Amino acid sequence: MLEKIKVYIADDHQLLIDGIIAVLGSEKNIEVVGYSLNGEDVIDWFKKNTADILILDINMPKIDGVGVLQYFFKKGLQQKVIILSSYDDTKLIKEVLKIGASGFLAKKCAAENIIEAINVVYKGKQYFSKSIQDKLIATFTNNAIKSNRESIESSFFSSLTPREIEVLKLIAEQYSSKEISKLLHISINTVETHRKNLISKLNVKNVVGLAIYAVKNNIV
């Protein structure tokens, strides 16, 4: 029998909940086990029940999404949570990541990306819709450009060599390997080696991972 991913939905708009349920209804490996219209009911439900993934709106009555996340954190519950929100400011994204959210999905992309988000997060990975990824990369880039060598070397990046820091800055500025090669007067193979070393040292998978790691660890 196919193992189903149990999903619980929390949002203050019944129409949105109905829409998500309709989208997920065609997926044989996903089962919606319940929903709530306010944060207090979410907490009450999880006191007695479990779900693989909680899709959680930020702006809800009684207890908002951040409050629900904080409850899970205080109780030590390793609940996978995908934030679903109309708000996508960097401060909010950073806050929910630090508390323990597994992903952040803009409501305008919900119908298009919700199935992918659920499957990715269920496998233990993080998921961010394209607009959120762009914001994280922009935040990382702007702060990386402003940082000087001393501040970088005294931070998490102290494990990087001076050349790796140079390559990291250029990657964050979205230069290609060919462009970095010309700017630093090194071969493309050397650039690729530095890129792989950065990904390995920072324990991420790609440039988006660099940005996410930076946000979660108060580097930006």
What does the pLDDT look like over 95-142, one tens digit per residue? 888 888 988 888 887 888 899 999 999 998 888 887 777 777 666 555
Q: What pLDDT score was predicted for residue 148?
A: 43
Q: Crossing angle, helix 90-99 and helix 130-146, to 10 degrees? A: 100
Q: What pLDDT score was predicted for residue 118?
A: 94
| Domains detected in the chain | 5-128 (3.40.50.2300), 135-216 (3.40.50.2300)
The Cα 106–Cα 118 span in angstroms is: 14
pTM above 0.75, yes or no: no
| Burial bucket for residue 140 (CB in 10 Å: 0-12, 13-18, 19+) | buried
The Cα 219–Cα 204 span in angstroms is: 15
What does the pLDDT look like over 172-205, one tens digit per residue? 767 788 998 999 999 999 988 888 887 788 777 7
